[in-house]
Amino acid sequence: MEQNLGDLAYVCPGCRAPLVVSAGHCGACYFPIELTEHGFLRVPGDSFLDQDHTLVVQALAAGNLRYYDKDERINRQFILKFSVLLVERLFDNRRDVRILSVGSGIGIDVEILRELGYQAWGTDCGSRCLVWPQRAQPEYLAQCADEHMPFADGFFDFVMCHQVLEHIGVVGDSIVVQPNSREIRQRFLDNLVRVTRLGGYINVATPNRTFPLDPGHAPNFFGVRVHGPLDRFLSSYGDMRSYFAKHDFEPLTPANYYAGTFASRAGRLGELFARYIRFLDRHPSLQGTFLNPLTNVLVHKVAGA
């Protein structure tokens, strides 16, 4: 049976025609793509096995549907206290804004944005996709790699991609980069640009390569990872300027970005961190430097893809 997904704004990743799924492929060009029984799209072969994949599978098999409770709580606070405020500022509180979350994880961000009246979609290819059947509107989620995003060129007003770039161009789910990681990341970011309309915006955030502490990956010193400025796993503001050389570029404040995370609640150390973030928020000239723990950029698309 053919299923026409054009009314959900999906196009075939292969031929870019409005997507009609038939027996596990595009009805026009036979590109392999499925509509799952739970309602979300999946490109076969684009799954990425996170380090905790086996634990997620075991938890769900045992009936533990709350494995990602912490993710849900943190993502909810982040979306409401950071992303929504940014979108409201950029689009004067309009709700007819088309938003794509690349690396949507458990998909709660898309759910919240749609509850608020935005036109939102999400993509991911990691193990968090396993909990998508729990989402209220899984039909707006697509399990795919960046090069197979099922959306037309220039479709979105705003694309956001948080804590994903560092996992592009690495060996599996590790901090070991591939020899051509820079080229792989450039292609990844070019795909974000492709689906963004001329005049639209892209928000990309990743730990700052030139800031010596990385709390989120492979800790090697008191619960954090200490690294040098030549570390190729992370990206700097200079890297971002190079990746988005054709477009307008603006460093963003880290204020509210860590809402709900351990860093915002860790007693005395958490308070010192919060004070430091407030200091950076008051000094925009420092936000695009080695003093910022976060490489957080807003890109304004001003040139054709």
User: In which region does residue 82 sit, left (phi positive, over 0), alpha (psi from -120 to 50) or beta (all else)?
Assistant: alpha
pTM score, whole prediction: 0.95
Alpha carbons 177 and 235: distance in angstroms, whole number: 12
In-domain check, residue 116: no
Domain that holds residue 27: 1-35
Chunk the chain into consecutive blocks of 10 residues (it has 305) and report each block's average pLDDT, rounded to whole numbers.
Answer: 90 96 95 96 92 88 86 93 97 97 97 98 96 95 97 98 96 94 98 98 97 89 88 96 96 90 65 91 97 97 82
Q: Does residue 300 sit within a domain?
A: no
Q: Is residue 128 part of a domain?
A: no
Residue 4 forms part of a structural domain: yes
Of 183, 277, 280, which is closest to residue 239 (Cα–Cα)?
183
Domain for residue 99, yes or no?
A: no
How confident is the model at residue 265, as a pLDDT? Answer: 55
Q: Is residue 25 part of a domain?
A: yes
- pLDDT at res. 267: 67
In a domain, 11, yes or no: yes
Split into its structural domains, the chain has a count of: 1
